[in-house]
Homo-oligomer: A and B are copies of this chain.
């Protein structure tokens, strides 16, 4: 399923071919949390260069409900996105958003953060929901310990996550054209990561995610963990670093052999008036942009940059105009997809280390805070 065209050190570039379309790797997946990439039309998401988006099982099971989406023809049709969709298992959001959680061997019972109604998520139900949604890449249900966690906490969580991974794989069953990914946990402990990776590989998945990172640890600790973990994963399967990250996080992770990413940053920042550019981040709320006729990023081809000035973006952010969220989201997603293309090009040309250094330098500079 994964075709690797070129490697550069530990990094790889290629194509993950799926029935609904090819995913160029390394790939960035915009978040389509509750059936919409926020503030974007699906066609515009595609125009930014996205080959795949992510849907959140937790949000979709609460509202509108997986059975309802299935009755309406599946998530692709529902949200008018015909290309691949990866769905998470809901485990992470249950831990971070839901109320009155009660976790046991079987699964987790919780109350909706929307209306307090009760739900139950088990490995079997998580996979059933993802199948009902019609997800192309389905993730096993894992338990996500909060950071910082003790080694003992993580070991205990790891054992449960492993048993749930087996049940998830069994529940996934046979779905031709669809993939099931395992998730390697283990916090920042290299030996626990190794144990988790070995156990996941023993179960056998179509791809392997690295979970439990970008939860508060330093970038250095994250990179060390990736150094220890990525090389243990099968070279012929896609590797997905969940929930990461800033441009320099992504560049460093690609350098360490990661193929897929998702992150809330480009969409959420866009709604908050923050732009990612080739020169670092800009806070469009800042008064110094009020009279600036220049484009946000003169090298960017998105509508925010080709049709509007920084002064206009400043004005519409300040005035809480919806178009500010639309334009800055469009821009940030374009920037992220351009970033991925530049990383793919750098790998193909054997100059990834230098390219990743450049990105790290830009994002190490003090940026306008939001």
Contacts and interface: CB of A to CB of B under 8 A. Distances in A.
A314 B290 CA distance: 37
Contacts of A72: 291, 293, 309, 311-312
Query: How many copies altogether?
Result: 2
Interface in A213-252: none
Contacts of A303: 41
Given A35-B312, A72-B291, 18 more contacts: A34-B316, A35-B315, A35-B319, A35-B321, A36-B322, A38-B321, A38-B322, A40-B323, A41-B323, A64-B311, A72-B309, A72-B311, A72-B312, A73-B293, A80-B307, A80-B308, A271-B322, A322-B325
B315 A63 contact: yes
Contacts of A307: 42, 80
Contact of A311 (B68, B308, B319, B326): B68
19 contacts: A34-B316, A36-B322, A38-B321, A38-B322, A39-B326, A40-B323, A42-B307, A63-B319, A64-B314, A64-B315, A68-B290, A71-B291, A72-B291, A72-B312, A73-B293, A78-B309, A80-B307, A271-B322, A326-B326
Count class of interface residues, chain A: 35 or more
A78 B311 contact: yes
Interface string A78-96: 1110000000000000000
Nearest to A315: B64
A322 B326 contact: yes
Contacts of A311: 64, 68, 72, 78
Contact of A39 (B36, B38, B40, B323): B323
A204 to B, nearest CB: 36
B38 A326 contact: no
Interface of A: 34-36, 38-42, 63-64, 68, 71-73, 78-80, 271, 290-291, 293, 303, 307-309, 311-312, 314-316, 318-319, 321-323, 325-326
Contact of A316 (B35, B318, B323, B326): B35
Contacts of A38: 321-323
Nearest to A325: B322
A35 to B, nearest CB: 6
- Chain B CB within 10 Å — which of A40, A41, A71, A323 has the most? A323
Contacts of A63: 315, 318-319
A291 B325 CA distance: 29
Contact of A34 (B36, B309, B319): B319
